[in-house]
Every structure is written in C-alpha cells, then in structure tokens.
Amino acid sequence: MKLSFERANYKIINQTQKNRIDKFIENHGGLVFHETLFNEILSGFIKSDLYYHFAYRENNLVGICPVHKTQKGLLKKYESGKLDFEIPYGGWVFSNETELPELMSLFKPGPFEAFNYFSNILINNNTILTTDAYIYWTSIINLDTALEEIWKINIDSKRRNMIRKAQKIGIKINICGSEVINDFYSLLKEMNISTGMKSKGIEFYKQLISCYPAEKARIMLAYKDNDLLSGIFLLGNKNVIHYWQGASHWNAGNYGQGELLQWEAIKWSSRMGVQYYDLCYLYSNKQLEEKEKKQMRIADFKLGFSKELMPFYLISKRSYSFKILNKIQNTLRYYRR
C-alpha cells in the first residue's frame, strides 16, 4: 500500500494536533529537535515558515517530519535540520513498518526550490542511504546499561583517570537551569570568538532553558575554587538526551573538568529515565577521510565515552531552475563586491 502525503503549515495546527505530533515523536524514537515547542522557538529565530509533513498508510499515521522554509526572492529552501545552528538532526520520525527511502521519495523540489534533509539518528534501524547522501556519525550510550558497566566498559581509561583527577582536586559540578544562562552564554561567546564561530543570540538559549522542564533541559557548570571553568547545555527527551553545547574559558586549564561534566551528565540522564545519551556529532565521512584536525580532536574526546557509532544523513535536492538562478545571483554578488 503506497504512502499518502500531507503538509500542514504550523500556524494552522491546533494544540490537540501538536499533542498528537509530540506523542508520535515520543513513541517512535523522535528527538527534541522534532518536537513542536523546539521548532516553534527555532522558527522564530531563523525567521522561517514552519511546516509539519505527515505520511499515511491506509489512513494510519506512519511518519512525521518538521520542515523550515526560508525564501530569498524566487529561491525557496526547505530544511529538516540546521547544522549551522547546531542542530545536526531532524528528518522523518516513522513507524517500524515504514522505510526511510520510501519516505524520502515524497520530497520532490518544485521550480526554484531546494531541500536539505538531515535525518534522525538511525538507532536500531538498518537503513543505508547511499544515493546523493552525505554520511555523518555520532556516538551514543545505552542508558539501560548499569552505570557501573558504563564506567568500566564505555569510558576508556584515559577519561576515567581524568574524572578521578577532577574529583581529587575538588572540581565541583552544579546542575542548574535558567538562573545561570548568562554565565553559560558568556563561556559560549568567549569560545566562539576564539574559534571564529558565529554566536547565536542569548534569547534563543534563554527560551529553550526556560520553556522546557528540568528533565529535558539542564545546564551543568564546573568550578574550581569558585572559579567558573566550563559548562555544558543538555537538551533532549525520554528517548535521547544530547550533549548539545559545551564551552570553556580559554585559559581554564585542564583539570579533568570536561570529563567530569560528561560523567555527571551521563549519571543525571540515567536518573531521568532516558534511553540514550548522545555525544552529539563526531564527524562526517569527509572530515574523517581528510582527518580534519579540529574535528578529530573533538571526536577523540567524545569517543572516550562511547565508541558505539550511529549514522545520520544529509541529502540535498535542488531543482534545475534553483541551480541556475542561484548561480546567476552568486555571480552578480561576486562582481558587485
């Protein structure tokens, strides 16, 4: 039985329908990045038109995908995730009897349209996308495993030794909410300046930490002798908690605070009854092949906590008219500089 397809503008979706969307997401391995509240907040900051796409089989809902539409002149772009906004995942959330390639066939860009599709993390899913797909990787920890086993098996000896070092010298970890958002953002902004990354407005982070309940969004800060060293922003749901953002003072020193933050985050996620802890983006296949130094350093740290790799994908589709007009506009911009 073929799939039928429906697209709904978020503006016309009522609260009952939002609850239905979020329930489907929770029941089928969806992430916080699929949820209506997160996408509503994101849409406000990137100034997109938010849509939810629905797939049905014999009138039964079998798939949901949030999509953000932005437009410049005639060019329209649809995105299911935004890596440049630290959102590496998105895409279809779907039932067991449905396959991702089948759902992907529903996306066909029209005139002057382009579509960037980031998939969900494919946990417990054997889907392999090869045609026009860029492969990315993350690493996860199954929190159904006892913490003692995670400590012994998942976390390598180097990271365990750094955790012990941090504990021995008295590094303190505070688990916090919106009251510390200014402190965390100052770390994030300082780090972005040093790495050349563009900082997002603090209001984006304020809304997330304020609107989500404590079991879905927490900030953890590491202190030495009352001096703030580092922090992480955890965000997720019952399916997956993500190590979403991390930042440190440029001269904080290495006392093992990064490792201790991760260990405390893993323990906290386990107490919250979460199924998986996600280290949130290691590298793309291209970055791995080219051994990109910065990304490999980040990946090496994260792999010290879990080597259980999970793929996710990026597929880009552009209509011929989009390619032509986009090329013309880029050429004009070049000559106007």
DSSP 152-190: IIIS-HHHHHHHHHHHHTT-EEEEE-GGGHHHHHHHHHH
Is residue 254 in some structural domain?
Answer: yes
Residue 125: predicted pLDDT: 72
127/159 same-domain check = no
Examine residue 261 and state whether it is found in any structural domain, yes or no: yes
The answer on 130 and 27 residing in a single domain is yes
Per-10-residue mean pLDDT of the chain, 337 residues long, equals 91 97 97 97 94 94 96 94 85 91 89 94 75 89 97 97 98 96 93 72 93 96 96 97 93 93 98 97 93 93 96 92 92 77
- Predicted confidence at residue 196, as pLDDT, reads 65
How many residues appear in the chain? Answer: 337
Q: Are residues 92 and 125 in the same domain?
A: yes
CA torsion through residues 29, 17, 316, 245, sign: negative
194 domain-assigned: yes
Asked whether residue 109 is assigned to any structural domain, the reply reads yes
Q: Is residue 299 part of a domain?
A: no
Closest Cα partner for 197 from 162, 247, 155? 247
pLDDT tens digits, residue range 286-304?
A: 999 999 998 999 999 999 9
Contact between residue 231 and residue 222 where contact means Cβ atoms under 8 Å apart: yes
Q: Are residues 174 and 264 in the same domain?
A: yes
For the chain, give me the number of helices (H) and strands (E)?
11, 14
Q: Which domain holds residue 224?
A: 145-274
Q: Enter the pTM of the model.
A: 0.94
Both structure tokens of 295 = 């990304």
Query: What is the domain-level CATH number for residue 54?
Result: 3.40.630
Whether residues 124 and 159 share a domain: the answer is no
Evaluate whether residue 42 is within a structural domain: yes
Q: Please answer whether residues 180 and 269 qualify as being in contact, where contact means their C-beta atoms are separated by less than 8 angstroms.
A: no
Residues with Cβ within 8 Å of 29's Cβ and at least 6 positions away in sequence, in order, are 93, 120, 123, 124, 239
Helix 36-46, helix 15-27: angle, nearest 10: 110
Closest CA to 242 of 108, 69, 123: 123
Q: Do 37 and 91 lie in a common domain?
A: yes
DSSP assignment of 52-64 equals: EEEEEETTEEEEE
Residue 166: give its domain's CATH number. 3.40.630.30
Instruction: Assess if residue 284 is contained within a domain.
Output: no
Domain count, the chain: 2
Asked, for residue 282, whether it belongs to a domain, the answer is no
